[in-house]
Amino acid sequence: MMLHPESRGRLQLSAVIITRDEERHLPACLDSLRGVADELIVVDDHSRDRTRPIAAAWGARIYARHFDWSARQMNYGLEQARAPWVLLIDADERLSDELKQEIRTVLLDPGGCRGFFLPRQNHVFGRWLRHGGNYPDYNAVRLFRRGCGRFRDQPIHSPLELDGRAGYLRAPLLHDSYRNLHDYYAKFNSYTSLEAEGMRRKGRHFSWPRMLTTAGGHFVRRLIWQSAYLDGWPGVVYCLLGLHYDLVRFWKLRERGMNTQVAMRAVTTANTEPACE
């Protein structure tokens, strides 16, 4: 089990993990942090399974917080960190042995960088995907000096804004993404709704050409230009699911626009109706 921070001497690295019902993934994630993270911080969205007991058994500091936006949950976790460096890792991710060694090396000599992108290797439908833009998946700065990074306050795909230069590590961060379609669609509705709301907040409006060109362009780029077909049927199916994802998020943007128009018409009608004498 992970030693408590106080028993390891001076803190060097805090690992921050966001959880909700992650008893299946969390043990492997925590085990991969052994010997690298001096402090474990778990921000839990009121899990109903054994997530909290598992985290407690590893000596993690556990904070209960209702999940609203991922950025806010992450920023809350960052505020609890005490070590000079912070590693952000999801419960369904784990450090490869090569990445653990690379992290130890850059913590000793970051070379002027205040943060680092980690290359995710995504495991989807039973296969590590190496094409279609899935590897190396440098989706965000994950390792950085405490106080030098904070997530922008937006509902989904919020970037970490780093005060300083970021470097790139080479060893993979292993991501157990989706075992099957049930796992994929368990998050699908929430994610597409957040995407649509994010587009609406940015002032974007639905249009058929924009939906079709965006969805079609993403699909062709992943499948053909980035050679997703080389990953076999998991790669092809994942591209098709991405196409579906794009279409649904744009359609939800359309629904939001229609609801706004109906509400505005109702207000206009109420304001123009003659008063009763």
First to last CA, the chain: 79
Q: Return the higher-pLDDT residue of 29 and 264.
A: 29
Task: Tell me what pLDDT residue 134 has.
Answer: 94
Task: Tell me what pLDDT residue 259 has.
Answer: 82
Q: Looking at the whole model, is its pTM more than 0.85? A: yes
Chain position carrying tokens 């942090």: 33
pLDDT exceeds 60 at position 5: no
Task: Tell me what pLDDT residue 9 has.
Answer: 57
Residues 132-173 pLDDT 10s: 999 999 988 999 999 999 998 887 778 899 999 999 999 999
User: Within the chain, which residue ranges are assigned CATH 3.90.550.10?
Assistant: 5-177
Q: Return the higher-pLDDT residue of 29 and 68.
A: 29
pLDDT exceeds 50 at position 3: no
Q: Where are the beta strands (DSSP E) in 46-165?
A: 61-64, 85-88, 93-95, 115-117, 120-124, 127-128, 141-145, 149-151, 160-162
Task: Tell me what pLDDT residue 119 has.
Answer: 96
Question: What is the rounded average pLDDT of the residues 69-96?
Answer: 96
Q: Which residues contact 102 (CB under 8 A, 6 or more apart)?
A: 169, 170, 171
Task: Tell me what pLDDT residue 6 has.
Answer: 43
Task: Tell me what pLDDT residue 141 has.
Answer: 96
User: Which range has highest mean pLDDT (6-15, 118-127, 150-159, 259-268)?
Assistant: 118-127
Task: Tell me what pLDDT residue 260 has.
Answer: 72
What's CA 19's distance to the chain center, in Å?
A: 12
CA–CA distance from 229 to each of 125, 152, 224 (Å)? Answer: 14, 35, 7
Residues 178-198 pLDDT 10s: 999 999 999 999 999 989 998
Residues 194-232 pLDDT 10s: 899 989 988 999 999 999 999 999 999 999 999 999 999
Task: Tell me what pLDDT residue 11 has.
Answer: 85
What's CA 133's distance to the chain center, in Å?
A: 16
Q: Which CATH number fits domain 5-177: 3.40.50.300, 3.40.50.720, 3.30.70.1230, 3.90.550.10?
A: 3.90.550.10
Residue % of the chain over a pLDDT of 70:
91
Residue % of the chain over a pLDDT of 90:
82
Task: Tell me what pLDDT residue 74 has.
Answer: 96
